[in-house]
A and B are shown apart, each in its own frame.
Chain A
Amino acid sequence: MSEQITVTVNGDTVSARPAANTLLSTFLREELGLTGAHVGCDTSQCGACVVLVDGKSVKSCTMLAHQAAGTNVTTIEGLAGDGGELHPMQEAFRDNHGLQCGFCTPGMVLSAVDLVSRNPDPSEGEVRSWLEGNICRCTGYHNIVKSIRAAAKVMRA
């Protein structure tokens, strides 16, 4: 039996004993039923699995569940407010058609939240550069970039 870990996931304290070789993405999807983090590649490049760990975006497919012990994990399911109101980043993606099939979207949104937390007013170039670790096959990124800059504006206000 593996050691017990305690992780705060979307504000809830979770104690579990995942096998040592359990990825954080697998832990979230299969043990906690949080299927919003998607797995789109096996080389840590697509970014569909991005979650926030202690506020920083990470690829949950490239982190062991045990490495998350003691951290605060936010998945896409935990981004909206308690009353269900969308986070400004979610709202901006909706309003600017920043998603199509939705598969890369959770990672894209959480990556963008990390960006705006560091850089409240990113230029188009800064947004594009930041998104290096998030692949979208549907949108051509045009509306994603637009969404993130629109959200940043709301979040600055």
Chain B
Amino acid sequence: MYDFNYHRPASATDAAAARKAAADGVYLAGGMTLLPTLKQRLARNSDVVDLAAAGLAGIGRDGGTITIGAMSTHDSVATSSEVQSAIPALAALAGGIGDPQVRNRGTIGGSIANADPAADYPAAVLGLNATVHTDRRDIKAGDFFTGMFETALDDGELITKVTFPVPAAAAYAKFANLASRYAIVGVMAAKTGDGIRVAVTGAAGNAFRATAMEQALAGDFSAAALDGISVDADYNSDIHASAEYRRHLVGVMAKRAVGEIA
């Protein structure tokens, strides 16, 4: 790691101020991606602003909404009784991220800000029609993920919490890369107040909604309704999975997620 200044502000406001004051600052949430990146000298930042003490952790339910503080760990989401009862698919998704040690440190805010194309949370944010709250504004899920490792966040903008409307039903099915354990394809299917949503992660540059599937499911919410639907996307291709194989897996995982609900 290159040298940097370390800050541990006691509030989100102080964090934003520290970040703003830095020449080339970066927020440190769980650090599960940032620290390996710094360690391998793939990034060089003048300042690292640790959000651990900024008061951004915590999970609560308010009527039909689950609110998850940005610094809530995957483990806290997975084991939260409120999440488990309101959106079991979200708890299960969080419980399947990385490995136990990643889940003990990694956070929802860090994950979605990083917007790894193979991360699990983007499927949940998009599939459950969540809202990403920052220190500046609220961003609808559909507007948040803009590209590979790219989001709608402006420089220095800080995610404070994510709110999930409680769906009528939802399920997440993931086909993991056996080496990295990230998603080769992950599909969140949900019956929400906003209609049927099917969100795909891992398959392309960023998470996206499979609208053809959503339309088919709106008429007949069953795995069989997805027969023959091939989702068009700009599929990733690598040594683990070709674009063709990913396209196929989107169909398989979508059916599994839907089958779990239907």
Contacts and interface: CB of A to CB of B under 8 A. Distances in A.
A67 B7 CA distance: 10
B259 interface: no
A15 B100 CA distance: 29
Interface string A35-67: 000000011110100100100111101111011
A45 B100 CA distance: 11
A20 B4 contact: yes
Contacts of B180: 45
A35 B4 CA distance: 26
Nearest to B176: A132
B116 interface: no
Given A47-B99, A132-B181, A62 B105 contact: yes
Given A20-B4, A21-B38, A133 B31 contact: no
Contacts, number: 84
Nearest to B1: A21
Interface residues of B, number: 28
A28 interface: no
| B1, B6, B101, B102: most-surrounded residue (chain A CB, <10 A) | B101
B101 A111 contact: yes
Given A20-B3, A21-B38, A62-B32, A67 B50 contact: yes
B33 to A, nearest CB: 9
B39 A64 contact: no
Interface of A: 2-3, 19-21, 23, 42-45, 47, 50, 53, 56-59, 61-64, 66-67, 69, 111, 114-115, 130, 132-134
Interface of B: 1-6, 8, 28, 31-32, 35-36, 38-40, 48, 50, 52, 75, 98-102, 104-105, 180-181
Given A19-B3, A44-B101, 17 more contacts: A3-B6, A21-B1, A42-B36, A43-B36, A44-B35, A44-B102, A53-B104, A57-B101, A57-B104, A58-B101, A61-B39, A62-B36, A63-B31, A63-B35, A63-B105, A66-B50, A67-B52
29 contacts: A3-B6, A19-B3, A20-B6, A21-B4, A42-B39, A42-B40, A44-B32, A45-B180, A50-B101, A53-B104, A57-B104, A58-B101, A58-B104, A58-B105, A62-B35, A62-B101, A63-B35, A64-B48, A67-B28, A67-B50, A67-B52, A69-B8, A111-B100, A114-B100, A115-B100, A130-B100, A133-B98, A133-B102, A134-B99
A48 to B, nearest CB: 11
A154 B38 CA distance: 42
A157 B181 CA distance: 35
A61 B28 CA distance: 15
B100 A59 contact: no
A43 B48 CA distance: 20
